[in-house]
């Protein structure tokens, strides 16, 4: 049995959708999957089995939004390296730059192939208050190091601009979900016109402004699921508004179910954050799969997709009046909602379906020299 280790420098309450989907493909083809996480709160089990994935957590308390994280990052690298030296894997699947250095060192020492899966370009993900010279230094390091990985995956074509020229062949695997339409499309819709957001709780996701807009509208509610670095600031705000319901972290399955039950999916990213301009998140493709219209912020990669596929409305970030008009229009026009939803569904089936992405992932692993079994039943 071949063994792969995914590495992630965080330990969320549930395994992230992108890792879970990739792992399910490999498990289906007879691989043993381990996920090595950095538990920055040091409050989760060190070893756990979740959906047939061996989850191993490195306990090292560390802040998220602080320059001090650079020191703790080095500690994480050493601990990850120690684990990888103590255990042998056939492939290392590094998720983002903060997991890449220890993987490349193992590649040098043992010739273990490395798949670099760039969820986000790290330098553009760093908070804006970090000095620009530090972001430039990190960007240069990532662009150089990716050339030493055996395979490179990005989530959107536009991210080629971030990584620049590379010696590696770049494969695009979008954040598309499996197709649950036949199973869940008959889910009972919420009686009230419902907006849904499931994702990170960050100030630059437009949640504060959206909550205030919803509070001024008749017959509209906003359901927010997730966790994140700004949860302590945002959660009390959500609780203070009658039309907003904050439900905390939920499983990926529940995210999908709530997407089907909702009327509209809200995806607002501040384009002033460089990484947000390239974002085409899970939420977008989940909405398209479910046939639900979206509202997204302009100046982003997802706005390009929404515009091309005519599957939602594009507004200016922090433009409360535009958001209000878009919500009212979609609330009051069911036929428009249906049309936009159908357009998104068609685009998902043609360009963004998970079967296509699964085939790309298998081809990447085949490119490392591994044969794949036919689908196994468990």
DSSP string, 46-94: SEEEETTEEEEEEE----SSSTTHHHHHHHHHHHHHHHHHHS--SEEEE
Q: Which two tokens stand for residue 290?
A: 């479910």
Tell me the per-residue pLDDT of 54-103, one tens digit each, with 9 for 90 and over: 999 999 998 776 667 778 999 999 999 999 999 999 999 999 999 999 99
Look over the chain and give the mean of its residue pLDDT values, rounded to a whole number. 91
Please, are residues 269 and 297 in contact by the beta-carbon 8 Å criterion? yes
Tell me the per-residue pLDDT of 146-205, one tens digit each, with 9 for 90 and over: 999 999 999 988 888 777 776 667 899 999 999 999 999 887 777 899 999 999 999 999
pLDDT at 137: 81
Helix (H), strand (E) counts: the chain: 15, 14
The percentage of the chain sitting over the pLDDT mark of 70, rounded to a whole number, equals 94
Asked whether residue 126 carries a pLDDT value surpassing 70, the answer given is: no
Please, are residues 369 and 120 in contact by the beta-carbon 8 Å criterion? no
pLDDT at 129: 58
**Three-class SS of residue 343?**
helix
Question: Which residue segments constitute the domains of the chain, with CATH numbers given?
Answer: 3-176+353-366 (3.40.50.2000), 181-351 (3.40.50.2000)
How buried is 132 (Cβ within 10 angstroms: 0-12 exposed, 13-18 middle, 19+ buried)?
Answer: exposed
Question: Which residue is it, tokens 């990669």?
Answer: 301
pLDDT at 127: 58
Asked whether residue 32 carries a pLDDT value surpassing 80, the answer given is: yes
pLDDT at 169: 78
Q: Which residue has the higher pLDDT, 20 or 64?
A: 20
Tell me the per-residue pLDDT of 200-251, one tens digit each, with 9 for 90 and over: 999 999 999 999 999 999 999 999 999 988 999 999 999 999 999 999 999 9
């Amino acid at each position: 049995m071949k063994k792969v280790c995914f590495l992630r420098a965080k330990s969320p309450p549930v395994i992230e959708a992108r890792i879970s989907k990739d792992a399910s493909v490999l498990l289906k083809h007879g691989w043993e999957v381990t996920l090595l996480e950095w538990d920055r709160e040091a409050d989760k089990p060190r070893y756990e089995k979740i959906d047939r994935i061996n989850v191993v957590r490195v306990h090292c308390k560390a802040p998220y939004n602080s320059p001090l994280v650079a020191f703790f990052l080095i500690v994480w690298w050493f601990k990850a390296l120690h684990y990888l030296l103590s255990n042998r894997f056939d492939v290392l699947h590094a998720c983002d730059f903060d997991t890449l250095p220890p993987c490349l060192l193992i590649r040098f020492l043992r010739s273990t192939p490395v798949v670099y899966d760039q969820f986000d370009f790290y330098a553009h993900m760093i908070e804006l208050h970090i000095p620009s010279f530090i972001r430039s230094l990190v960007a240069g390091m990532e662009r150089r190091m990716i050339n030493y990985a055996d395979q490179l995956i990005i989530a959107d074509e536009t991210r080629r601009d971030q990584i620049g020229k590379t010696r590696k062949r770049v494969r695009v695997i979008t954040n598309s979900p499996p197709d649950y339409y036949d199973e869940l499309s008959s889910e009972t819709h919420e009686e009230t016109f419902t907006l849904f957001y499931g994702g990170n709780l960050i100030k630059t996701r437009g949640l504060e402004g959206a909550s205030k807009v919803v509070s001024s509208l008749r017959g509209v509610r906003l359901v927010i699921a997730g966790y994140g670095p700004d949860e302590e600031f945002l959660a009390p705000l959500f609780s203070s508004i009658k039309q907003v319901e904050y439900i905390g972290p939920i499983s990926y399955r529940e995210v999908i179910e709530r997407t089907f039950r909702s009327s509209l999916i809200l995806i607002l990213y501040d384009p002033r954050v460089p990484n947000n301009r390239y974002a085409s998140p899970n939420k977008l493709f989940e909405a398209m799969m479910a046939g639900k219209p979206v509202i997204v912020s302009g100046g982003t990669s997802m706005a390009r997709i929404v515009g091309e596929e005519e599957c939602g409305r594009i507004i200016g970030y922090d433009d409360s009046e535009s958001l209000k008009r878009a919500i009212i229009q979609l609330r009051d026009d069911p036929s428009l909602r249906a049309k936009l939803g159908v357009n998104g569904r068609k685009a998902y089936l043609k360009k963004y379906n998970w079967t296509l992405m699964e085939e790309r992932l298998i081809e990447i692993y085949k490119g490392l020299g591994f044969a794949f079994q036919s689908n196994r039943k468990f």
